[in-house]
Structure 1
Amino acid sequence: MPETKRARRPDVKLVILGDMNVGKTSLLHRYMDKKLSDTISTVGGAFYLKQWGPYNISLWDTAGREQFHGLGSMYCRGASAVILTYDVTNWQSLAELEERFLSLTDTANHDCIYAVVGNKADLTDPPNEEEDYEGGCPIHKPHYASHLTPPVSPTTGSPVANREVRKEDAVALYQRILRYKVLDERSSPPAEKMCFETSAKTGANVDVLFETLFDMVLPSILRMRSESEASPTVDLEDYGPVSSKQTKGGCC
């Protein structure tokens, strides 16, 4: 295969899911453009192509609106990584990940990697120095509530009042994702590595999020390239260009 054609082909797919207004598109704009752009609600989905070293990763932004929900499983088909995004100031946005969006990932690859990402961290209080952090999420604690329970909101008027989702709630959700996928927790990426809190506004942890996932999907990239080189089938993508940004979307 000519190298120029290979350079345009995505090696793996990364999909970002979540309810409307959690800032999915803003996270992608912050990572791709290194700035926060004015956005509008994503209709259906939007595709971006990121060149990462010698590899090409397709980033799929999806709509969070209910009327586009059925398209989610199509976008997740063959995904090597899924970012499940919620708003740290909106409890329902975390609950929606489990109630509406997790089942859409049934079409993803069997070895798909899952990250739970709380956006809009700039609206919350600064981290508690007494907590133990690694990779933007507290170190795994011995027990968590088996079901999500909204925390009691503190007195309004302070940054603390904006937080509705605790970091340990995201960790508990990640553990339930592993159980839903029938994945062995001991051999899966640990929760402290796969839970992030980000801010598309300030850029906090955005690069860390995407580049951590890019590193983790490298085995999938190498496997897929090996299978492609060994397969005698014709790849239709070889006969048409792949745009680096087919559509533009917005925060949903």
Structure 2
Amino acid sequence: MRRTIPERARRPDVKLVILGDMNVGKTSLLHRYMDKKFNNTISTVGGAFYLKQWGPYNISIWDTAGREQFHGLGSMYCRGATAVILTYDVTNRQSLAELEERFLSLTDTANHDCIYAVVGNKADLTDPLADRENYEGVCPVHKPNYACQLIPSGSPTLFSPGAEREVQKEDAVALYQRILRYKAVDEHLSPPAERMCFETSAKTGANVDTLFETLFDMVLPSILRKRSESKASSTIDLEDYGPVTSKQIKGGCC
């Protein structure tokens, strides 16, 4: 016997969109979070949709294509987005520049209070912490759940990087601040850059859960507000319409 899924169980409460150039690991990030494993993925064609249940809430996560020929679709996918993950490759400086040059304008269709995260993927190639399989730890610089997961400059390490780092933490922070200016958002009223600039590894799992779960917690007020507005709009107060007269009744047609 087939079970019917309740309408509320299928309907997304909010939308989260992942943007970024091709080969930065957007799809791999999403697979690591959803499936808890690393897959060698092929380039996304157009976009892909996933639904994540977060407690009693449903969050749709859109994985978008980074290829130039699919660029025009990004604006459509961002329409009504509550959170956007702007993803780059820490070993490729151009991938960070592309976020500002090609992808930021696509977010003009997102909600006015949309939350933005700047995410440097492939940290396992340069970061000794992220090189540990399934690593999820406390950032040594900031508070727990602050997701930069970086070693303080000058810290001793025996780690030998497999690739040269081209994007520093300061570069991502500077981009986040420019995003706020582009969106005309008061920096003092927005989440701090240290909380919204992440470094992850889809290969090892480093900081991936922290990224998504931090954003899920941050969009919770939007979910509650949306449900409250939906509930209010479905309730009709008959007193607002005044008394019904006999003339109004006769004027109806069945």
TM bin (shorter chain): 0.7 to 0.9
Q: How many residues align?
A: 211
1:79 Cα deviation after fit:
0.2
SS of the residue 1:95 aligns to: helix
1:162 Cα deviation after fit:
1.7
Largest Rg, 1 or 2: 2
1:136 Cα deviation after fit:
3.2
Name the structure 2 match of 1:213: 215
Name the structure 2 match of 1:95: 97
2:199 to 184, 197, 200: 197
RMSD: 2.0
Q: Which has the higher contact order (CA 8 A, sep 6+)?
A: 1
2:141 to 132, 141, 145: 132
Q: Structure 1: 5+ residue runs without aligned partners?
A: 140-157, 234-252
One-letter amino acid of the counterpart of residue 132, structure 1: V
Per-residue deviation, residues 79-136 of structure 1 (Å, max 9, x unmatched): 0000000000000000000000000000000000000000000000437xxx834523
Name the structure 2 match of 1:107: 109
1:161 Cα deviation after fit:
4.9
SS of the residue 1:207 aligns to: helix
Aligned residues with identical type, % of pairs: 85
Name the structure 2 match of 1:75: 77
1:67 Cα deviation after fit:
0.3
Structure 1 172/87 Cα, relative in aligned 2: closer, same or farther at 3 Å? same
1:174 aligns with 2:185: no
Name the structure 2 match of 1:59: 61
8 Å contact 1:125–1:160 — kept in the other structure? Answer: no
Name the structure 2 match of 1:6: 8
- Superposed structure 1 runs of 4+ greater than 6 Å apart: none
Name the structure 1 match of 2:137: none
Name the structure 1 match of 2:26: 24
Q: Structure 2: 5+ residue runs without aligned partners?
A: 130-139, 151-159, 236-254
**Farther off after superposition, 32-41 or 16-25:** 32-41
